[in-house]
Amino acid sequence: MHEFLAGSSPLLVDSDNDGVADSIEVANGTSPSISNIIKEITVDTDLSQSADFTSLNDAIASIRGILRQPHVIRTRSSSGIADTDPVRISSIFSNRFADLKIILEDSYVLDITATKGYFHAIDLMSEYVTLKGEGGKIIIRNNGHVATYGLMSFRQAKDSLVIIENLSLEGQMDASQPSYGLKAKNAANKHVIRNNVVTGFVGSGSYGIFAYYENYFYNNTVSNNQIGFRWKEPSGEIYNTISVLNNGSDYHAWMPWSGITNSNNISSDTTANISGDRSRVVEFIG
């Protein structure tokens, strides 16, 4: 049969074999060459659970290259064994149609000890990545080394998006050395950073959250660090930050609030932007 005879319709083509015709994908604004079927990968530090991998870093290494479909990595620690391998989210060429989501489930603990100076527990360098906690926890120890980073997000390609949300980042630091809980530095992309708890990053020159350039901060809690929050050359917005009980100051003294949309960012000292948000008393329960 000749599908292009007058009055007939061409065959429905599905280039990526995901059950959605190319014409429909184009009409919906998605890519006909990228499958809509999500590939799910499991991580469990307990070998007896027969997950795909026993460490998050090994799971990430398995998908390095160009992604042709969305990926979700789910991590858990069924028997309470911590994941102790540093994580490198790099050389994964994702995009808005074939993105990567990493979910740290309730039982999962990533417990990393620095082995040298300028050590990063998690490097996040790929585009269109969401790193999300669903009860999991990240613990970082500097072991006396200088400049230990909990999560460092940088070097993504232009006009990409990284989402960091619902994480618990806990520093267990030798206070004689500087450390950083969450650092985001990339002039080319955007970060959305929301609903995270960052605590314990102490020592001269240490910060709970230290950001540069375009970011969107919502509902983050930063406490018991040396300096709670710093943002250099900012654009974007920041709402509902609880930065309290930090050792040096809750927000950096030179925080340039004027260039960003901001509201309801409180401090227990006098460094919040709005006078009514300063010197607030906060009690954490649980």
* Model pLDDT for residues 26-35, shown as the tens digit of each residue: 667 667 666 7
Collapsing DSSP to helix, strand or coil, 59 comes out as helix
Q: For 62-110, write each residue's pLDDT tens digit.
A: 999 999 999 999 999 999 999 999 999 999 999 999 999 999 999 999 9
pLDDT over 50 at 285, yes or no: yes
pTM of the model: 0.90
C-alpha 62/C-alpha 71 separation (Å) is 12
Question: What is the predicted pLDDT for the residue at 1?
Answer: 44
Distance separating alpha carbons of residues 60 and 53, to the nearest angstrom: 10
The torsion angles phi and psi of 234, rounded to 5 degrees, stand at -80, 150
Q: Is the pLDDT of residue 265 over 60?
A: yes
pLDDT digits (tens, 9 = 90+) for 179-217: 999 999 999 999 999 999 999 999 999 999 999 999 999
**Total residues belonging to the chain:** 286
- What whole-number percentage of the chain has pLDDT above 90? 84
Average pLDDT of the chain? 92
Beta partners for 129?
A: 100, 162
Task: Name the 3-class secondary structure at 56.
Answer: helix
Alpha carbon distance 116, 142 (integer Å):
8
**pLDDT band per the 50, 70, 90 thresholds, residue 8:** very low
Task: Name beta bridge partners: 184.
Answer: 153, 211
